[in-house]
Structure 1
Amino acid sequence: MRHVLFYDSGDLSLAVEHFPAHQARYQEFFRRGVLLTLGPFSDRAGSMAIFTTREAAEEFVSADPFVLNGVVSGWQIREWNAASPD
């Protein structure tokens, strides 16, 4: 089971200002091994991130500078039953 965090884009003009703090936050979660991947959609309407636990996704969102500063207008976490070739 994985947990997918979906972000809806808010005021993207604020992204440049808040990106360094956002990047530091996601790098911390990568180092901890609880964030597997993340990135924006090509249409700029939002982004997604895949976490190993719901708790990690909720912790990330709770203090993400993009959420706190309006770069993100809304978010949701969904459980995902990922299939693999194993």
Structure 2
Amino acid sequence: MKHVLRYTAVEDFMPLAAANGAAHVRRLHEFHDRGVLLMAGTLQEPMNGEALAVFTSSEGAEEFVAGDPFVLNGVVASWTIRPWDEVLAPDGG
């Protein structure tokens, strides 16, 4: 079972996101390189700072959140981690 992390940003998130973006992206790459993070991205229309990420475990998602500059520096207003029962997966997934 995979786990989905959902971020909701603070109202005026863009300046904070810009200031912390490089460190946040480095963390995304670190977790992806470890095989813990499968995919991540922002939701569009409207672009309001909501984002989703799919992790291989709840522990991996929790570890990510615990040290994410977006969480630590106030870009994220709230977050949730929910188990995801993937029905249609790519071969080998």
Normalising by the residue count of structure 2, what TM-score does the alignment of the two structures yield?
Answer: 0.87
**Paired position in structure 1 for 2:34:** 32
- After TM superposition, give the deviation of residue 44 of structure 1 in Å: 2.4
CA–CA distance in 1 between the matches of 2:72 and 2:26? 15
Select between 37-46 and 73-82 the one with higher mean Cα deviation. Answer: 37-46
**Paired position in structure 1 for 2:57:** 53
How far does the alpha carbon of each residue in 1:6-52 deviate from its partner, in whole angstroms, 9 at most, with x for none? 00011232111101100110100000001000011102231010000
The percentage of counterpart residues that share the same residue type is: 48
Count of matched residue positions in the alignment of Structure 1 and Structure 2: 86
In structure 1, stretches of 5+ residues that fail to align are none
Residue 78 of structure 2: SS of its match in structure 1?
A: strand
In structure 2, stretches of 5+ residues that fail to align are none
Matches within 5 A, 1:1-86: 1-10=1-10, 11-42=13-44, 43-45=46-48, 46-84=50-88
Normalising by the residue count of structure 1, what TM-score does the alignment of the two structures yield?
Answer: 0.94
How large is the Cα RMSD of the aligned pairs?
1.2
